Amino acid sequence: MAERDVVPRTPPALELKGVRKDFGDVHAVRGIDLRIEPGEIVAFLGPNGAGKTTTIDMMLGLSVPSAGTVSVYGRTPLDAVRLGLVSAVMQSGGLLKDLTVAETVEYTAHLFTGARPVDEVMERAGISLIADRLVAKCSGGEQQRLRFAMALLPDPDLLLLDEPTQGMDVEGRRAFWKAIRHDAQAGRTIVFATHYLDEADAYADRVVLIREGEIVADGSAAEVKALASGRAVRATLFGADQATLRALPGVDHVEVHANSILLHCADSDAVARYLLTQTNAKDIEITARALEDAFVALTGSHARDESVQSNADEVLR
């Protein structure tokens, strides 16, 4: 066949085509197309209920898409799991309380062919010192690093992390990400779901923003943050000139429909000032963009934590 002559191309680490997932009338995932190349570190950023976990379940073959396909290194998720190509750190649960940390890793190691040595993965996940502790006596952060150690056993080419630092204290989060970052240098493809913007920013090369089961932004952390910081300005303006509007400072998108204009911009004050002083525009309306709404929802509780923290710092001084 002609195909034989073609140099084999490495398939994407992860490829989703038109993936949808419905639970009855609930449309948890509404058509996701995504391609992640080997070696990328990608954050799946979105609020709770955005469909992140549902999507990760489909990547692992834990559930089947209602429509569309998911492939992992060119294989079905089930095959990829059986071969140890993909492994995951799940959000919570998944541990036996009456086994010790080392026994849990050992148990899981027996399930794979050619698993990495138990001592090695425990070292890399930073749990060597608690090897003999019963899982029931481990903190949330320790349990999460145990899950990470288990996920490292097959030496997966793709590692999925579902809200890996959920419920951890600051120290736990730092220790966890230190272990992940250290590991990522090996060239593994890593996809993690999070609703912390700062986590996505600090640890991902690429951020996929997901909301209500759809991808609403995809790019570098800086690009996505820039998208999120803008405002929308609406106005009624007769004879609007698209090119002039587009040339205004900070404007990245212009729509003109009959007499109404819509601008997406970074500096809404400057645009408003221009419209009021240089044109006959009226009915000016400035709104935070939907994306920013999403980010407020995403980062709101976190920002509040920080302000509480800085207040506390001031009190201490």
Instruction: Give the binding site for another protein (CB under 8 A).
Output: 3, 6, 8-11, 38, 60-64, 73-75, 81-85, 87-88, 90, 92-99, 103, 106-108, 110-114, 150, 155, 157, 187
Residue 109 or 262: the one with the smaller Cβ distance to another protein is: 109
Instruction: Using alpha carbons only, give the angle 205, 291, 26 rounded to the nearest 5 degrees.
Output: 95
Query: Least distance in Å: CB of 129 to another protein?
Result: 21
Distance CA 8, CA 271 (A): 52
Distance CA 118, CA 92 (A): 22
Do 173 and 9 contact (CB within 8 A), yes or no? no
Distance CA 234, CA 67 (A): 37
φ/ψ bin of 173: left (φ > 0), alpha (ψ from -120 to 50), beta (otherwise): alpha
Query: Least distance in Å: CB of 2 to another protein?
Result: 12
Residue 114 or 239: the one with the smaller Cβ distance to another protein is: 114
Distance CA 137, CA 130 (A): 10
Residue 108 or 194: the one with the smaller Cβ distance to another protein is: 108
User: Which tokens sit at 307?
Assistant: 């302000």
User: Which tokens sit at 282?
Assistant: 């009226």
Query: Least distance in Å: CB of 232 to another protein?
Result: 40
Q: What is the rounded radius of gyration, in angstroms, for the C-alpha atoms of the chain?
A: 24
Query: Least distance in Å: CB of 138 to another protein?
Result: 14
Residue 150 or 265: the one with the smaller Cβ distance to another protein is: 150
Distance CA 75, CA 187 (A): 20
**Nearest one of 254, 277, 244, 250 to 265, comparing CA atoms:** 250
Query: Least distance in Å: CB of 189 to another protein?
Result: 9
Residue 75 or 225: the one with the smaller Cβ distance to another protein is: 75
Query: Least distance in Å: CB of 195 to another protein?
Result: 21
Query: Least distance in Å: CB of 18 to another protein?
Result: 16
**Nearest one of 219, 155, 161, 162 to 187, comparing CA atoms:** 155
Residue 154 or 230: the one with the smaller Cβ distance to another protein is: 154
Residue 59 or 216: the one with the smaller Cβ distance to another protein is: 59
